């Protein structure tokens, strides 16, 4: 049985560790804060938590988690205490890291209410609208999205994605930008969901950044084996009610 302990260590800083009774090697991973269904700090569960644990166990190790805001993941990794950071994409500022094959993909959408008579068919349809997006959206979704966001009547990014959905349900915003699995998770908390327009923007694939190339190589090998298991499919159905992580084609082994 998976065991995770979590305590508050500082503002925006949380720790979790799996039971290390069966392995001497403990890998110290940086992960984002609360992002259900990927990470739920209230229950220490979530797709990303369980996926990383599966892969690290396949490596023959156990994992210790530290949770920080998304924007601080790559800047915190150089500290001696950490081996890896999730939810990363290579940039010119992170050339000293070694990147795994993609381990997770987000299916990003622009979502509006049909009864607001707002239909998004292209990024420029955001011009003049009130828009709430996830934190780092302008960086993650590319220059075309960033340009459209600049021309919105008001554009806000937030780490609280539940509030995005709430604002749309209360008609306090025209459109929200978020991952499809996160949207569906929060919609499941409403008994009366209006008809929504969903415009797919892009699928973003994220990697794990390592400081040690041998750990990166072991992670990739373990991940490839996990992809072949029924447990990997079951994990997706458990949290997403579907299988929508198609990553093998985007990795050269």
- Domain borders along the chain are 4-104+205-250, 106-203
Contacts of 228 (CB under 8 A, 6+ apart): none
Per-residue confidence (pLDDT) for residue 249, from 0 to 100: 86
Contacts of 140 (CB under 8 A, 6+ apart): 89, 108, 134, 204
Q: What are 150-179's pLDDT values in tens digits?
A: 999 999 999 899 999 999 999 999 999 999
Per-residue confidence (pLDDT) for residue 24, from 0 to 100: 83
Per-residue confidence (pLDDT) for residue 7, from 0 to 100: 31
Contacts of 73 (CB under 8 A, 6+ apart): 30, 31, 32, 85, 86, 87, 88
| % pLDDT > 70, the chain | 89
The residue ranking higher by pLDDT, 169 or 90, is 169
Two domains, one topology: 4-104+205-250 and 106-203: yes
* CATH number assigned to the domain covering 106-203: 3.40.190.10
Distance CA 47, CA 54 (A): 10
Tell me what the mean pLDDT of segment 74-99 comes to.
88
- Mean per-residue pLDDT over the chain, rounded: 90
CATH 3.30.360.10, domain 4-104+205-250, yes or no: no
Q: How confident is the model at residue 92 (pLDDT cuts 50, 70, 90)?
A: low
- Tokens for 70? 């998304």
Burial label for 94, CB within 10 Å (0-12, 13-18, 19+), is middle
Per-residue confidence (pLDDT) for residue 86, from 0 to 100: 97
């Amino acid at each position: 049985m998976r065991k995770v302990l979590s305590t508050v260590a500082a503002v925006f800083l949380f720790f979790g560790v799996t039971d290390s009774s069966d392995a001497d090697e403990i890998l110290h991973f940086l992960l984002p804060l609360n992002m259900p269904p990927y990470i739920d700090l209230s229950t220490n569960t979530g797709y990303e938590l369980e996926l990383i644990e599966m892969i690290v166990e396949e490596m023959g190790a156990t994992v210790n988690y530290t949770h920080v805001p998304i924007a601080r993941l790559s800047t915190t990794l150089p500290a001696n205490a950490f081996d890896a950071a999730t939810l990363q994409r290579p940039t010119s500022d992170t050339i000293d890291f070694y990147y795994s094959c993609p381990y997770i993909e987000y299916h990003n959408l622009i979502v509006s209410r049909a009864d607001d008579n707002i239909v998004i068919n292209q990024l420029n349809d955001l011009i003049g609208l009130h828009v709430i997006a996830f934190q780092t959206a302008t960086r993650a979704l590319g220059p075309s999205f960033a340009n459209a966001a600049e021309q919105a009547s008001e554009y806000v990014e937030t780490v609280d994605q539940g509030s995005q959905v709430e604002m749309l349900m209360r008609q306090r915003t025209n459109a929200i930008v978020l991952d499809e699995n996160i949207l569906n998770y929060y919609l499941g908390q409403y008994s009366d969901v209006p008809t929504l327009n969903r415009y797919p923007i892009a699928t973003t694939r994220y990697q794990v950044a390592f400081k040690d190339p041998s750990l990166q190589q072991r992670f990739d090998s373990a991940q490839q084996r996990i992809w072949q298991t029924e447990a990997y499919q079951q994990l997706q159905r458990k949290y997403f009610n579907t299988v929508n992580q198609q990553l093998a084609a985007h990795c050269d082994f």
